Amino acid sequence: KTKNHPEPSKMLKELPKKGLVMLTYLLNSLIRLNFWPECFKTSLIKMIPKPGKDSNLISSYRPIALLSIISKIFEKLILQEINKNSNLFPDHQFGFRKRHSTIQQCHRLVDEINKTFEEKNFCSAAFLDVSQAFDKVWHEGLLKKIASTLPSNYLKFFKSYLENRKFVVKIGQDCSDSCHINAGVPQGSVLAPFLYLLYTSDIPTLTSSTIATFADDIAILAVARDAKLASCRLQTHLNLIERWAETWKIKINDSKSQHITFTLNKESCPPVTFYNNQIPECKSIKYLGMHLDRKLTWKPHIVAKIKQINLKLKELHWLLNRKSKLSLENKVLLYKTIIIPVWSYGIELWGCASKSNTAMIQRTQSKILRILTNAPWYVTNRTIHTDLGISFIQDVIKSRSINHHNKLTEHPNPTLAPLLTNSGSRRLKRTWPSNLIDS
């Protein structure tokens, strides 16, 4: 892609061998001198309006930072060189890492919750919201962590990389004056996610609780036989994170963070606090796109997905309705590319829901396919699915679960190994994700 950058960049694809040699020489010189050019430090900010928001409010726009494509190429090569070092990040961090996904991280939580139910325990869980995580990184603190983590030559390089950063806002053909950036990792840069993960890699952990992080999404689970003890263990971990956040100038938004009790009992775990403020209680939590309710029934997640599907269907009605002149082939293509990803995300986990709940998604799909084909009442759903080459929900659950299981089998992260164990007899007749491959 070359169109979303501040300078003409199509020429890079057409560069002769001599030009590539010069770029290589330039990159090697930057690494040798531990220097980052000033021309690579200014980002062009474009304001993208958020749909359905008041255009007169600044908060109704999403800033998108555009950087020099040459600088991004250089950053990618530098990142590849850094990644040759040993693993720099903790095993609980799944964000921006190869072969790590949101579903795998959510599976860790689901497995912990299922064990809680099986052992008649209480799971007190906190989901923390980090305010402006990437924009508020303390440069001095980041450089300290770089000095203690990476080889010595990288300290000078990243000091040059971070200092004297600027941005310019462009609206239409008009540009603002340049403004200096004194904190945060450069938005839109290749190295920004790496620097953020490095900055937060020493977040406190405890053996008495489980932590799951995906970039700036933090979940902490504490399990115990007694509800009070579970929250006590969680509070101990939160206190450590509170002190850590204060030390490194990381702002945790306690009002947007959430606390939930996962249990099959009627009793709930006592509330927990952060910055001496009680974290709001909830009956269902949304983490990495998955809705986790107190008893892990998956019904809130499925209901939310059906609402999302109906909104998409409403937007596409003029293309998918019976009177549309669009060909059936293109209608099916729209369904596969726009609507199926809505409900299929996380199916490796929510496929554990009861048949009555998964049937809600199947009914929704069958209804949509009938609209696409304008099929008469006597044509069966199986015939429609077969003719269109669309799989039934249960078939998708099994195929995706097998694929998910195969990825876990070969995964290098040790925190995922317990997800593969499937103990024979259980107290509860609940379906676990590991059971779906046999369904």
The residue-averaged pLDDT of 182-192 equals 93
What contacts 298, CB < 8 A, 6 or more positions away? Answer: 291, 349, 350, 352, 353, 357
Q: Which secondary structure element, helix H or strand E, spans residue 331, and what is its range?
A: helix 328-334
Long-range contacts of residues 50-59, Cβ cutoff 8 Å, at least 24 apart: none
Q: Residue 236: its pLDDT value, please? A: 98
Specify the 3-state DSSP secondary structure of 246.
helix
Q: Is 137 within 8 Å of 185 (Cβ atoms)?
A: yes
Length of the chain in terms of residues written:
439
Nearest C-alpha neighbor of 194 from the set 211, 217, 165, 215:
215
Q: How confident is the model at residue 9 (pLDDT cuts 50, 70, 90)?
A: low
Tokens of 145: 């962590």
CB count, 10 Å around CB of 178?
Answer: 12
Q: What's residue 372's pLDDT?
A: 94
How does pLDDT run across 215-269, given as a tens digit for each residue? 999 999 999 999 999 999 999 999 999 999 999 999 999 999 999 999 999 999 9
pLDDT of the residue at 56: 86
Q: Dump pLDDT digits (tens) for 320-336.
A: 988 899 999 999 999 99
The predicted structure's pLDDT at residue 290:
98
Average pLDDT rounded to a whole number, residues 276-288: 97
At residue 118's C-alpha, the angle toward residues 112 and 119, to 5°, is 90
Class of residue 133 by CB neighbours under 10 A (exposed 0-12, middle 13-18, buried 19+): buried
Residue 333's pLDDT is: 97
Euclidean distance between CA atoms 202 and 198, whole angstroms: 8
pLDDT at 2 over 80: no
What amino acid occupies position 358?
T
pLDDT of residue 392: 98
The 10 Å CB-count burial string (b at 16+, else e) for 257-286 is bbbbbbbeeeebbbebebeeeebeeeeebe
**pLDDT at residue 323, rounded to an integer:** 86
pLDDT digit string (tens) for 350-390?
A: 999 999 999 999 999 999 999 999 999 999 999 999 999 99
Q: With contact defined as beta carbons under 8 Å apart, do 320 and 326 qualify?
A: yes
For the stretch 143-154, pLDDT in tens is 999 999 999 889
CA 386 to CA 334: how far, in whole Å?
18
Q: In whole numbers, what is the pLDDT of the chain averaged over residues?
A: 93
SS3 78: helix
Task: Report the share of the chain in percent with pLDDT over 90.
Answer: 78
> Where residue 123 falls among pLDDT bands split at 50, 70, 90?
very high
Token couple for 79: 């990142």
Q: Return the H-helix or E-strand segment holding 211.
A: strand 210-214
Does the pLDDT at position 7 exceed 60?
A: no
Lowest mean pLDDT among 139-153, 175-189, 193-207: 175-189
Give me the torsion for CA of 391, 395, 396, 399, rounded to 10°: -130
Confidence band for 51, pLDDT divided at 50, 70 and 90: confident
pTM for the full predicted model = 0.92
